Amino acid sequence: MKKVIIVHGWGGNPNNHWFPSVADSLKQEGFQVEVPEMPNTNKPEMSAWVNKLTEIVPKPNRETYFIGHSIGCQAILRYLDSLKGGVQVGKIVLVAPYLHNALDKSIDFEKVKRHISNITAIFSDNDEEVSLSDKEIFKALLDAKIIVEHNKGHFTEGDNVIEFPLVVKEVVTI
């Protein structure tokens, strides 16, 4: 069974923003979905977040999908960077992927790319946290499919994003 892990962002929790709606929709599509509470969410340490993902998904495979929001995207990329061997995961969807505070170390994007079979990065043209120009990083380094949404801010409740059918569509559609 395909399993989706949704990783919230800095200061977030599993019940924030669009996470419950997306989780419910994916469950209706037949996916097993987990939205873990990440440790020290108000002062995140990437090593602790990567350890949490490793605990949840000790042996990923192509049936393992990830959705990240903001700094949760960085946690997913660092988790993939930590994997050994040639294992590939299924679909990755990164929403407002926040990378500019490399908290522990740089990310080996070449290594990450070897573990990814399909990746989409979703940006907003008015996000105050993540520059729209960052889309070029994801295109160049990970060959990601790039989607730019109009006027969605940082894709939070404050931006009136409480449902996110685009994310569901990107996970379900290969």
| This prediction's pTM | 0.96
DSSP reduced 3-state for 22: helix
CA distances from 72 to 28, 37, 66, 142, 165 (A): 24, 11, 10, 17, 19
Residue 103 has a pLDDT of 45
The per-residue pLDDT for range 43-82, each reduced to its tens digit, is 999 999 999 999 999 999 999 999 999 999 999 999 999 9
Confidence of residue 166 (pLDDT cuts 50, 70, 90): very high
Q: Per CATH, which fold does 3-172 belong to?
A: Rossmann fold (3.40.50)
Q: Where are the domains of the chain?
A: 3-172
Q: In the predicted model, is pLDDT for residue 85 greater than 90?
A: no
For the chain, strand residue ranges (E) read 3-7, 32-34, 64-69, 89-95, 116-124, 145-149
